[in-house]
Amino acid sequence: MTAVAEAPASELLKRKARRGAVIDGTTPTSRTVRFALLLLFLLFVLMPVYVVVITSFKTSSDTTAASQWSLPQTWTLEPWQKAWDVLQPYMIRSLSLAIPAAIISSMIGSMNGFVLARWRFPGANLAFAFILFGMFIPYQAVMLPLRNTFRELNVTQGVPTLLLAHCIYGIPICTLIFRNYYATIVPHELIESARVDGAGLVATYVRIILPISISGFVVTLIWQFTSVWNDFLFALFLTQQRNGPVTLGLAALAGGQKVDYAASMAGALITSLPTLLVYILLGRWFIGGLMAGALKG
């Protein structure tokens, strides 16, 4: 009897399939339209990338407005060599800036987030509000006072000055990320058991919290590294051309009365490689940190 009952049902599904209906409620036509739209959006996003890549392999005579979409008549690596020769010292300074800035601000944000999320004290919410207030202060509002403050303190412009500024400015977002992360992931029972065993604030953080904070650190490290690496405004006000990061080097490469578009495009690709590499290496843990609650709240 089961076979007899199943036969009409299977026949009904075949009829629905022949009419263009599918089980999930979409038809082949709607799926085709959806994929066509996605492909259109993908092409729209990749068009600038295509222009940048092919321009970086062109000679100076090929980089004209009329030929920006065409392939190079003569493929050459000279723009890449020129861009690398100019940007190499800037790249080293940016790495010496972005890596410590990301680590320091992430560590401070982690400690702040733990205290504000799980080790409550009177006025914790008010302190958290004051810390978050730093996120909403635009760079332009603090740039001149910050530069004047460093001058009054006789702090030399350069990477150390920029490192201090990025560490301070990165604390609010890192604190927010870790506070939400610890409030979502770390159970109260774990903190209470540590207190019962006699562990203090520092011991609880070092022995219990840090080992389970990998996902949160990946999120803040990627976030901060990308922000510091791509920053131009802080670098423009707090450093000089001779001791600035890679964004100033890229501006110098593209500057002048006669712009070398091929070298500029090659330089743009070279400067984007470190952040791209970071996302490739840590992207899986970055998504895991987001899903685990690092940006929930």
Amino acid letter for position 240: Q
CA 68 to chain centroid? 29
Query: Where do we find the tokens 């000089």?
Result: 240
Q: How far apart are CA 13 and CA 47, in angstroms?
A: 43
The rounded average pLDDT for each run of 10 residues, N- to C-terminus, in the chain (297 residues) is 49 54 63 90 90 88 72 88 93 94 94 86 85 85 86 83 91 91 78 78 83 87 93 89 89 78 91 90 71 54
pLDDT at 99: 95
Percent helix, strand and coil across the chain, each to the nearest 5? 75, 0, 25
pLDDT at 17: 52
Largest CA distance in the chain: 92
CB atoms under 10 Å from CB of 272, counted, come to: 13
Domain range list for the chain: 2-48, 78-294
Q: How far apart are CA 5 and CA 78, in angstroms?
A: 74
Q: How far apart are CA 270 and CA 90, in angstroms?
A: 11
47 DSSP assignment: H
Mention every residue, 6+ apart, whose C-beta is less than 8 A from residue 64.
none
pLDDT at 2: 45
pLDDT at 196: 79
Question: Based on C-alpha coordinates, what's the Rg of the chain?
Answer: 27
pLDDT at 3: 45
> Does residue 161 contact residue 151 with C-beta atoms inside 8 Å?
no
pLDDT at 266: 93
60 DSSP assignment: T
Could you report the per-residue pLDDT of 92-133, keeping only the tens digit for each?
Answer: 999 999 999 999 999 999 999 988 888 777 888 888 888 888
Crossing angle (nearest 10°) for helices 261-289 and 78-118: 30
For the range 281-286, what are the long-range contacts, defined as Cβ-Cβ under 8 Å and sequence gap of 24 or more? Answer: 282/218, 282/221, 282/222, 285/214, 285/215, 285/218, 286/218, 286/219, 286/222
Residue 192 CB-half CA count within 13 A: 3
Q: Closest by alpha carbon to 54, among 69, 37, 39?
A: 69
State how far the alpha carbon of 288 is from the alpha carbons of 1, 59, 92, 181, 268, in Å.
Answer: 49, 44, 30, 12, 29
CATH topology of domain 78-294: MetI-like fold (1.10.3720)
pLDDT at 197: 77
pLDDT at 292: 59
The answer to whether the Cα torsion of 290, 129, 117, 225 is positive or negative is: positive
For residue 111 the two structure tokens come to 């400690």
pLDDT at 6: 47
